[in-house]
């Protein structure tokens, strides 16, 4: 009998739960990375001027999976341990007829760093995280040791305030002034896997947000900072992150706090999907980065970027390799399990300091300056309710709205004089939503090296000007996007080409013509007063 009982305690794989391991080729939204040439930088040196390019992009850097079954990882597509008597598994109590009153969800969570672009911006991020061995993830009371300020937000007023963050997040602007909210997901506290929501997709999204916040709090990841910096933020900045779900299905990238109802249709079917079991989720997290590429010091950096990406993609383990890599992970987990039997949570010697910190946070929140900032954010949200009226007014004035975008597709093979002319016209329109797009980085004359000086030349206002230490030439402030995905999305095979996108509709035109002419033609086809007005301004009209 004793032997029979011990058999239930032997770790075993969780049968019935399986999926396709993470695949960086298919699971990353490569169009979201989008290298953008923000402008030109002139740095004075002893020998003269050093010219550089300011480049920004969104970096996929972290994988977060949330699981209803302990030790199952949607990232690996399999279980790495567990027990039939294990009580660490997730739940959705609303599906239990005996416990309909307590409608809540619990999910374990695992974090894995995603080293796709380590040589572009090398930040001090650390290793993985398994919530099964995190006592604070299992217990709401223990979680208060890590976030004592949670008691400040456990009241009706603060929770109701999250409605403003939900409206903003669904519009694409999470409110950084409200770090205790995760938009439509509710509250970021407690930082545990317990979520009072019986919607499984929304609850798992909230659990993923909380794990992201927790990793910020404990210094496991650092927040983006200008020019490849790294800043630890115990109170996270939500707008610096966005994510997309890739298991059990793949959906588009969204900001922190967006309602899952906008993308969960058919995502979590009640049966085994093509990518994984239901109720087991995997999220890819992106953060922004800005790098200064000095042309005279490191000409090879940008040229190596695409090579770096694909070399790293090739180095990510496939399904077979993940199986081999699982053995050392299992050994680590086994050692952690042994240690967990003897580990005890010590008395919090910093309890008073925590209370003082919470009191200080409350004073900062109720400070007039912070309240004024919050009031401004609320007014901005209330102002978004009249978007339709603003859109109509903008159309009459010949200006693009937030729902409209214009992409001008160019190529480095085009004459630089022509590219420069287009860029000057873009500046003359005064429209930031008219964006020049290149398929890739311009090659050198022999096709072997990057022509980094290309952007210095085509952005120059006066082509005949020459930079000197005393008087550098003036450049156009027009961000370039390097995005082959946009070329594919709109089936661009000839350049120059102009694409006008209004919400879900798009129109395109191509041909070597003035920007005013292209805008006029596409404006008539799309019946857009805004494009017609912009075209008239370029031609000197009103």
279-327 residue pLDDT tens: 999 999 999 988 877 665 433 333 333 333 332 333 333 334 334 444 5
Q: What share of the chain is helix, strand, coil (3-state, %, to 5)?
A: 40, 20, 40
Is 143 within 8 Å of 114 (Cβ atoms)?
no
Q: What angle do CA 18, 20, 21 make, to 5 degrees?
A: 105
Residue 292: its pLDDT value, please? 77
94-131 residue pLDDT tens: 444 444 445 689 999 999 999 888 777 777 888 789 99
Residue 272: its pLDDT value, please? 83
Residue 98: its pLDDT value, please? 45
Residue 468: its pLDDT value, please? 75
Q: With a cut of 90, say whether residue 267 has pLDDT above it.
A: yes
Q: With a cut of 90, say whether residue 257 has pLDDT above it.
A: yes
N- to C-terminal Cα separation, the chain? 92
Token pair for residue 99? Answer: 């416990």
Token pair for residue 460? Answer: 């120059």
pTM above 0.85, yes or no: no
How much is the average pLDDT of 328-356? 55
Which residue would you say has higher pLDDT here, 464 or 43?
464
- How far is residue 342's CA from residue 339's CA, in Å, rounded to a whole number? 6
How much is the average pLDDT of 249-262? 95
Is 214 within 8 Å of 146 (Cβ atoms)?
yes
Which residue would you say has higher pLDDT here, 124 or 249?
249
Which residue would you say has higher pLDDT here, 332 or 43?
43
How much is the average pLDDT of 408-431? 93
Residue 344: its pLDDT value, please? 52
Which residue would you say has higher pLDDT here, 519 or 369?
519
Q: With a cut of 80, say whether residue 146 has pLDDT above it.
A: yes
Token pair for residue 539? Answer: 């031609």
- How far is residue 103's CA from residue 121's CA, in Å, rounded to a whole number? 43
- How far is residue 95's CA from residue 200's CA, in Å, rounded to a whole number? 11
190-233 residue pLDDT tens: 999 999 888 999 999 999 999 999 999 999 998 887 777 788 99
Distances (CA, A) of 395 to 227, 352, 403, 504, 531: 37, 58, 12, 18, 9
Q: With a cut of 60, say whether residue 261 has pLDDT above it.
A: yes
Worst-scoring range by mean pLDDT, 330-344, 432-446, 449-463, 493-507?
330-344
3-class DSSP string for 19-66? ECCCCHHHHCCHHHHCEEEEEEEEEEECCEEEEEEEEEEEEEEEEEEE
What percent of the chain is modeled with pLDDT above 90? 42
Q: With a cut of 60, say whether residue 264 has pLDDT above it.
A: yes
Residue 471 confidence class, pLDDT cut points 50, 70, 90: confident
Burial of 472 by CB count in 10 Å (0-12 exposed, 13-18 middle, 19+ buried)? Answer: middle
E strand segments, 71-225: 72-73, 78-79, 91-92, 105-106, 108-113, 129-130, 194-195, 223-225
- How far is residue 210's CA from residue 187's CA, in Å, rounded to a whole number? 9
Residue 414 confidence class, pLDDT cut points 50, 70, 90: very high
DSSP class of 288? E
Token pair for residue 540? Answer: 């000197």
Chain mean pLDDT for the chain: 79
57-97 residue pLDDT tens: 999 999 999 999 999 999 999 998 765 445 566 665 544 44
CA of residue 77 relative to chain centroid, distance: 23
How much is the average pLDDT of 480-484? 89
Residue 155 confidence class, pLDDT cut points 50, 70, 90: confident
Q: With a cut of 90, say whether residue 17 has pLDDT above it.
A: no
Residue 355 confidence class, pLDDT cut points 50, 70, 90: low
How much is the average pLDDT of 21-28? 93
Strand bridging mode 35-45 / 48-67: antiparallel
- How far is residue 312's CA from residue 303's CA, in Å, rounded to a whole number? 15
- How far is residue 232's CA from residue 357's CA, in Å, rounded to a whole number? 18
């Amino acid at each position: 009998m004793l032997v029979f009982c011990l058999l239930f305690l032997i770790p075993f794989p969780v049968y019935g739960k399986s999926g396709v391991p993470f695949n960086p080729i298919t699971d990353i939204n490569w169009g979201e990375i989008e290298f953008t040439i923000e402008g030109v930088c002139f740095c004075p040196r002893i020998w003269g001027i050093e010219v550089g390019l300011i480049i920004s992009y969104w970096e996929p850097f972290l994988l977060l999976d949330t699981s209803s079954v302990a030790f199952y990882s949607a990232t690996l597509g399999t279980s790495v341990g567990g027990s039939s008597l294990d009580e660490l598994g997730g739940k959705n109590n609303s599906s239990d007829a005996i416990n309909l009153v307590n409608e809540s969800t619990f999910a374990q969570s695992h974090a894995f760093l995603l080293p796709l672009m380590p040589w572009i911006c090398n930040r001090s991020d650390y290793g993985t995280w398994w919530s099964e061995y995190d006592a604070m993830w299992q217990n709401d009371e223990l979680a208060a040791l890590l976030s004592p300020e949670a008691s400040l937000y456990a009241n009706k007023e603060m929770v109701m305030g999250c409605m403003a963050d939900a409206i903003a997040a669904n519009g694409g602007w999470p409110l950084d002034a409200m770090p205790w909210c995760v938009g439509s997901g509710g509250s970021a506290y407690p930082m545990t896997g317990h979520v009072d929501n019986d919607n499984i997709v929304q609850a798992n999204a909230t659990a993923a947000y909380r794990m992201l916040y927790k990793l910020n709090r404990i210094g496991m990841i650092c927040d983006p900072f200008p020019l490849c910096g790294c800043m630890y933020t115990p109170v996270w900045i939500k707008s610096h992150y966005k994510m997309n779900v890739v298991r059990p299905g793949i959906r588009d990238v969204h900001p922190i706090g967006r309602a899952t109802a906008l993308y969960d249709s058919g995502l979590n079917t009640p049966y085994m999907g093509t990518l994984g079991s239901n109720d087991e989720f995997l999220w890819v997290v992106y953060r922004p980065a800005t790098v200064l590429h000095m042309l005279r010091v490191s000409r090879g950096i940008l040229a190596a970027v695409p090579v770096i990406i694909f070399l790293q993609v090739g180095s990510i383990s496939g399904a077979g390799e993940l199986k081999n890599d699982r053995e050392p992970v299992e050994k680590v987990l086994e050692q952690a399990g042994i240690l967990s039997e003897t580990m005890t949570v010590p008395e919090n010697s910093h309890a008073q300091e925590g209370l003082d910190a919470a009191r200080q946070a409350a004073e900062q929140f109720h400070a007039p300056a912070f309240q004024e900032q919050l009031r401004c954010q609320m007014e901005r949200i209330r102002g978004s309710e009249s978007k339709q009226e603003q859109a109509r007014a903008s159309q009459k004035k010949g200006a693009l709205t937030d729902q409209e975008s214009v992409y001008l597709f160019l190529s480095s093979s085009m004459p630089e004089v022509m590219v420069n002319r287009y860029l000057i016209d873009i500046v003359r329109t005064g429209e930031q939503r008219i964006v020049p797009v290149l398929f890739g980085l311009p090659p050198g004359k022999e096709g072997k090296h990057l022509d980094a000086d290309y952007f210095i030349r085509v952005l120059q206002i006066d082509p005949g000007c020459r930079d000197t230490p005393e008087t550098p030439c003036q450049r156009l402030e027009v961000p370039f996007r390097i995005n082959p995905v946009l070329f594919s999305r709109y089936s661009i095979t000839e350049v120059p080409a102009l694409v006008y996108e209004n919400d879900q509709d798009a129109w395109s035109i191509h041909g070597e013509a003035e920007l005013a002419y292209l805008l006029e033609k596409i404006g008539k086809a799309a019946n857009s007063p805004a494009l017609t007005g912009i075209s008239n301004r370029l031609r000197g009209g009103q």
